[in-house]
Amino acid sequence: MYAQMKNLFPALGLALLGTVAIAWMALAPTEGASVAVVFPPGTEREDMLLRVSQAGWLPVSYLNGNTMLAAPSDTPRSLLANGALLVLNADGARGCSL
């Protein structure tokens, strides 16, 4: 039985790799597009607004939990350098965070 299961490992690996690749393509931020910014748990709403503004992004709305929607401004800088855990494409992440 275990010998037959070893034959499934390459197929399972390819399925996992394909799923990760599709998720990356759907959630990777694109140049000039709005993003969903995920902050560490426990980050206050005012602190999220401050961090997004300091990075040169325009806060658009506060989503559930510790996520904020932001739009690029004339001089956007790195949101990750200002304490964000994840920066995701807002179109792809909208269904996950609303």
Model pTM greater than 0.75? Answer: no
C-alpha–C-alpha distance, residues 42 and 74, integer Å: 30
At 7 the pLDDT is 84
Is there a domain that residue 19 lies in?
no
Is there a domain that residue 79 lies in?
yes
Is there a domain that residue 23 lies in?
no
pLDDT along the chain (98 residues), means of 10: 80 91 79 86 91 90 85 79 86 60
Contacts of 88 (CB under 8 A, 6+ apart): 27, 28, 29, 35, 36, 37, 38
Q: Check which CATH number belongs to the domain holding 54 and give it.
A: 3.30.70
At 98 the pLDDT is 47
Q: Which of 32, 29, 82, 76 is nearest to 56 (CA)?
A: 76
Q: Return the percent helix, strand and coil in the chain, to nearest 5.
A: 45, 20, 35
Is there a domain that residue 9 lies in?
no
Is there a domain that residue 71 lies in?
yes
Total number of domains constituting the chain: 1
Distance, first Cα to last Cα, the chain: 44
Q: Which domain holds residue 59?
A: 29-95
68 alpha-carbon distance from chain centroid: 11
At 28 the pLDDT is 78
Is there a domain that residue 44 lies in?
yes
